[in-house]
Structure 1
Amino acid sequence: MVTEYPIRIAVVIGSTRPGRRSPMVAEWVRDVAVEHASKDSRAVEIELVDIADAALPLLDEPIPAAVGEYQNEHTRRWAARIAGFDGFIFVTPEYNHSVPASLKNAIDYLYDEWTDKAAGFVSYGTNGGIRAVEHLRNTLAEVKVAGVRSQVALGLFNDFKINDIAEPGTFTPGEHHVDVATRMMDELLDWATALRGLRERAGAEPGQGQTESEEVKNRHGGMQPPLNQPIGFWTAHAGEAIRTRTRGVLAEIGMSQPEWWLLHQLSLRPSGASPSAVIETIGPNDTDEAIEGAIGTAEEKRWLVNDGAVLRWTDAGAAQFKRGQDAQGELQAERMQGISKDDYVTTIEVLQRTIENVGGHAWHW
């Protein structure tokens, strides 16, 4: 039976130095994993995650990661990147009996985003990188990651052709490594599936952590939020916090939120739409003036053409929309940290019913 949501596995590229070999090893791991996953009854997604792309400085968070109050934008981006995965395959060389500092640093930045997930290991070095993984297993155990038994250990002299030590060389893995990687994937998917269930049931059974009500009480000084507390207070604060965060992230890719709404509407109307229809549809989100301004700025940026009667997006507009989609996906993952999908849907339904109960219209396009 195919699971409702795919099991998501990240192949983590653990080295950042110039001339590193980990990307080509990670690509091989991904290809083996994708091939194996295609034969599995579960829906599985495999994705490369390069810690070099995260551009993390040496840990600079003032509050311990276990608290979950990340202060820096680079930390929040990294947390959003990791949060959506169910398991990991760490690809690491061995440096001085351990993993690269960059990988240890990337792990130390987070806590909850790693917790109750599974990990497999692919290492390389003069001794197959096995001592690096011994150290890595201990580090991950501290953030509650379950490491599987099977490990791919690649020999620097047997599985690579290296003519210049400063260059990556060519990766030529022995065929037997595929069998080990396949066995590791079997173990990883089983553990990732089981641990996802544990995360979704967290607190449901005695001895498995706090119940949801206990967790809420702890966040509120030991008190359950009273039933008569105005829901409008929290929805207003939630709306403002989400709006501010969303606009900040969109600004980083050169886009305002009204411009995002505009391109989203044009994505739904490939043949174009009249300015008045777009303004009417987006209207409840912002003022007409703001939306009209977005039409003007999007035209200046060549994201759309406007003949006065119909708005149509350009290739540049479609590309910018894709960047916006990626940003929105990361924001969604960030917002969903510590929240189950069922709880999220229930919250939306409660808010919609509350709005209708007081004579409002629970609207969204």
Structure 2
Amino acid sequence: MANLKIIVASTRPGRVGLPVGQWIEAEAREHGGFDDIELVDLAEVNLPFMNEPNHPRLAQYIHQHTRDWSAKISEADGFLFVMPEYNYGYNAELKNAIDYLHNEWHYKPVGLVSYGGVSAGTRAAQMIKQVVTTLKMIPLNDAVSIPFVRNFLNDDSVIVPNDVMKSAAKAMLDEMVRVESALRPLRTQEPDTAAGA
């Protein structure tokens, strides 16, 4: 049973990301394959743009916000990134949050829950794969892609999913359980992050 962190990437006022994150969190809880699930909202984490003087692989953090972020990511066994598409790419806040750390991401699966207009955020999802694989993360092939996302919001700003979204979520969460379990031995062999590289 894994510790799953659901990271809501968008931080802007009026965002759809938080309702999407809350919906996928409910799906993950219903799924039952995870021991601990936490919704992590980058708007609340509120990381400044990278201000650590040392390379993240050394884990020599001087700021408390980085140490807190490191602890949060270290305790996770897998992630779901709930991400918008901005100008055919992923948003800067998500890239910044990833770049703060290094070892903490290693050998952990990541599921992509993207949303947008006609493209459903798929161009952003494709772009981020080269970033996460550089950090030894494993992006899942199964994903959730939500086109015209505002059509699924009700008056209370709650996502009302269709059957395609629900089946995609189940397939992604099933795969998360399988891949997380397979990667676990690699994580237990990881060197102490404080030792650097």
Q: TM-score, normalised by structure 1?
A: 0.50
Contact 2:16 2:150 in 1 (8 A): no
1:179 corresponds to 2:167: yes
Distance in 2 (alpha carbons) for counterparts of 1:189 and 1:51: 24
Distance in 1 (alpha carbons) for counterparts of 2:177 and 2:58: 29
Structure 1 pair 97–150 and aligned structure 2 pair: CA distance change class (3 A):
same
Aligned match of 1:331: none
Aligned match of 1:63: 54
* C-alpha RMSD of the superposition: 2.2
1:9 corresponds to 2:1: no
1:170 deviates by 5.1
Contact 1:9 1:45 in 2 (8 A): yes
Q: Which has the higher contact order (CA 8 A, sep 6+)?
A: 2
Query: What secondary structure, in the 3-state scheme, does the structure 1 residue paired with 2:146 have?
Result: strand
Distance in 2 (alpha carbons) for counterparts of 1:11 and 1:150: 16
- Percent sequence identity over matched residues? 36
Deviations, residues 72-113 of structure 1 (Å, cap 9, x unaligned)? 111111111111000001000100111111111000101111
Aligned match of 1:340: none
Q: Indicate which of 7, 31, 36 corresponds to 2:31.
A: 36
Contact 1:98 1:135 in 2 (8 A): yes
Which amino acid is 1:173 matched to?
P
Aligned length: 193
Distance in 2 (alpha carbons) for counterparts of 1:153 and 1:60: 33
Which amino acid is 2:40 matched to?
V
Deviations, residues 152-178 of structure 1 (Å, cap 9, x unaligned)? 100125743589xxxx95533212111
1:156 corresponds to 2:148: yes
Deviations, residues 54-89 of structure 1 (Å, cap 9, x unaligned)? 211111111111121111111111111111000001
Q: Indicate which of 110, 113, 125 corresponds to 1:122.
A: 113
Deviations, residues 284-336 of structure 1 (Å, cap 9, x unaligned)? xxxxxxxxxxxxxxxxxxxxxxxxxxxxxxxxxxxxxxxxxxxxxxxxxxxxx
Distance in 2 (alpha carbons) for counterparts of 1:186 and 1:161: 25
Query: What secondary structure, in the 3-state scheme, does the structure 2 residue paired with 1:113 have?
Result: helix
Higher radius of gyration, 1 or 2 = 1
Query: What secondary structure, in the 3-state scheme, does the structure 2 residue paired with 1:82 have?
Result: helix
Query: What secondary structure, in the 3-state scheme, does the structure 2 residue paired with 1:107 have?
Result: helix
Instruction: Structure 1: give runs of 5+ residues left out of the alignment.
Output: 1-5, 203-211, 220-365
Aligned match of 1:140: 132
Higher helix share: 1
Q: TM-score, normalised by structure 2?
A: 0.90
